[in-house]
Amino acid sequence: MNDKSRAHEARFAFAGSSSMTRIAFIGLGNMGGGMAANQAKAPHQVRAFDLSAAAVERAVAAGCLAAASVAEAVAEAEIVITMLPAGPHVRTVYAEQILPNAPKSALLIDCSTIDVDSARVVARQAAEAGFRFADAPVSGGIMAAEAGTLAFMVGCEASDFAAVEAALAPMSRVTIHAGDHGAGQAAKICNNMLLGVSMLGTCEAFALAEKLGLAADRFFEIASKSSGQCWSITSYCPVPGVGPQTPADRGFEGGFASAMMLKDLKLAQEAAAKAGASTPMGAQAEALYALFDANGFGGKDFSAVIELLRGRVSDLH
């Protein structure tokens, strides 16, 4: 069975089990807002909470129900989904608000991108409290979150994966079981380190082609059909007017923020240091994105780093 068939089957099973599954969604930022909206469209009863009142208002407009607190959101939930900024937030919210207040029957899924150790600590605490838990970070960016076409990398008990896959189906293009608790975060960290490195290589190549007088559309056609082909070229080209629509066509707005890429690269370097792994390209990518962020461009899409390599960051203001 292919990925699309499995996703369709999971979506059918999830929707068929209860037409209005009770979902608590905690964290309604750039990614979480679109994800919660797709759960509401499924349709499911989504009680949403965020510290930002404006984010909650947007979720309500998308069909969710507002909750006044995390405790209220999870009180009667069958599924709890969290999308939070970093490991300390996840540890605190689960230990202090979710585990003490959610029904023991609830399936807990954290979709944040955090360090592996935090994911495993929360998983252990959840198990000790009698809950099923999965770390399920995502790949795909804001547009995929809004379209319900994210890729999920899941770390959980093998026996829980079918339930996790079904719960994620309204938001997912593909959901893959990476392994036991923490494996989802390990997969996300490694994947995004590869993405950060490949985007820098793609940007360098386009910048060099430009200096050599090679038209961007010609280089795109050649590279996308030869040995240089990669996702950063064919699906997320950093040059406007070339290939599919990307943030480059919108002034590098509305994509995957450079600050978020920097966060993921830092997580990769921290993980590498703990594991004793050599990741020199990842370290260089972190340094370049740190420089880009320090110059005030953390809110721009990560492909905007091409302007740093061109020496044209002033064009981004």
Per-residue pLDDT reduced to its tens digit, 173-211: 999 999 999 999 999 999 999 999 999 999 999 999 999
pTM value is 0.89
Residue-level pLDDT at 267: 97
Tens digits of per-residue pLDDT, 48-64?
999 999 999 999 999 99
* Cα R_g (the chain), whole angstroms: 20
Question: Does residue 45 contact residue 24 with C-beta atoms inside 8 Å?
Answer: no
Would the pLDDT of 141 be above 90? no
Cα separation, 252 vs 248, in Å, equals 5
Residue-level pLDDT at 2: 46
Annotation marks residue 211 as catalytic: no
What share of the chain in percent tops pLDDT 70? 94
Residue-level pLDDT at 19: 61
Q: What is the distance of C-alpha 33 from the center of its chain? A: 12
Question: Does residue 285 contact residue 196 with C-beta atoms inside 8 Å?
Answer: yes
Q: Cα–Cα distances in Å, from 259 out to 48, 196, 238?
A: 25, 12, 17
Among 4, 41, 104, 188, the active-site one is 188
At residue 205, φ and ψ (nearest 5 deg) are: -65, -45
Cα separation, 305 vs 209, in Å, equals 16
